[in-house]
Amino acid sequence: MTQVRRASLADQAAELLLERIRSGEWALGEKLPGETTLAPQLGVGRSTVREAIRQLAGRGVLTSRQGAGVFVTALEVPEDWDAVLRRADIVSVIEARVAIEAEAAALAAARRTHADLRAIRRALARRAENRSDIERHVDVDTQFHRAIVVAAHNPVLVEMFDSFTPRVLAAMIDMLRLRQDFGSDADQQAHAELADAIADRDAAAASRLSRAHLGELRQALT
């Protein structure tokens, strides 16, 4: 049985446990042996085993259930979210935005408050007022879409939207510089119709309009 021999014992113990999980020694959902069993196998003390388990729990591989033990929750370390976004192309990001924002628009129509609606209307007005400067236009357009996601009252959707935003902004600005076509009356009207659907609590229309707008954006970027 391979044992830890060098410094950083907890780190090495965590890697050894991860290797054993990857090899299939413990199946997904299976309970790990106790500290008194794992410690001599790894050649470390029980406190080091506890720290190794905490590390793998923080990486999403293990979970500790009070009174029950430690269980395998993943067979591999989940990839860092930022790394996924860095590798994704812009079309993939837009497709993910469609999934997020179409649902957020429907939820916003059902859950929006008067304060949410005022924020959406203010962002819409700023969007109408900023049609000459590309970077400013993209900025206020993002504010409008974010106001809708916030109105869905789902913090996970807001966090996901905020993760996508930096990836989308640069591509949007580059695209508009090439096309020199942005801020048209038709485009502003499409955003106004989306705001109206949310104000009218028409979830189906809000979702459809959001999906249509982002679908057009996807086509423009390909």
Q: Residue 41's pLDDT is what?
A: 92
Q: Residue 6's pLDDT is what?
A: 47
Q: What residues does each domain of the chain span?
A: 9-72, 81-220
Looking at domain 9-72, which of 1.10.10.10, 2.30.30.90, 3.90.480.10, 3.30.479.30 is its CATH number? 1.10.10.10
Residue 80 pLDDT exceeds 70: no
Q: Residue 209's pLDDT is what?
A: 96
Of 57-66, 139-148, 208-217, highest mean pLDDT: 139-148
Q: Residue 17's pLDDT is what?
A: 93
Residue 85 pLDDT exceeds 70: no
Q: How confident is the model at residue 126 (pLDDT cuts 50, 70, 90)?
A: very high
Q: Residue 72's pLDDT is what?
A: 92
Residue 7 pLDDT exceeds 50: no
Q: Residue 155's pLDDT is what?
A: 93
Residue 214 pLDDT exceeds 60: yes
What are the φ and ψ backbone dihedral angles of 65, each rounded to 5 degrees? -115, 120
Mapped to the 3 state alphabet, what secondary structure does the chain carry?
A: CCCCCCCCHHHHHHHHHHHHHHCCCCCCCCECCCHHHHHHHHCCCHHHHHHHHHHHHHCCCEEEECCCEEEECCCCCCCCHHHHHHHCCHHHHHHHHHHHHHHHHHHHHHHCCHHHHHHHHHHHHHHHHCCCCHHHHHHHHHHHHHHHHHHCCCHHHHHHHHHHHHHHHHHHHHHHHHHCCCCCHHHHHHHHHHHHHHHCCCHHHHHHHHHHHHHHHHHHCC
* Summary mean pLDDT of the chain: 85
Superfamily for domain range 81-220: GntR ligand-binding domain-like (1.20.120.530)
Q: Residue 193's pLDDT is what?
A: 97
Q: Residue 136's pLDDT is what?
A: 85
Q: Model pTM?
A: 0.62
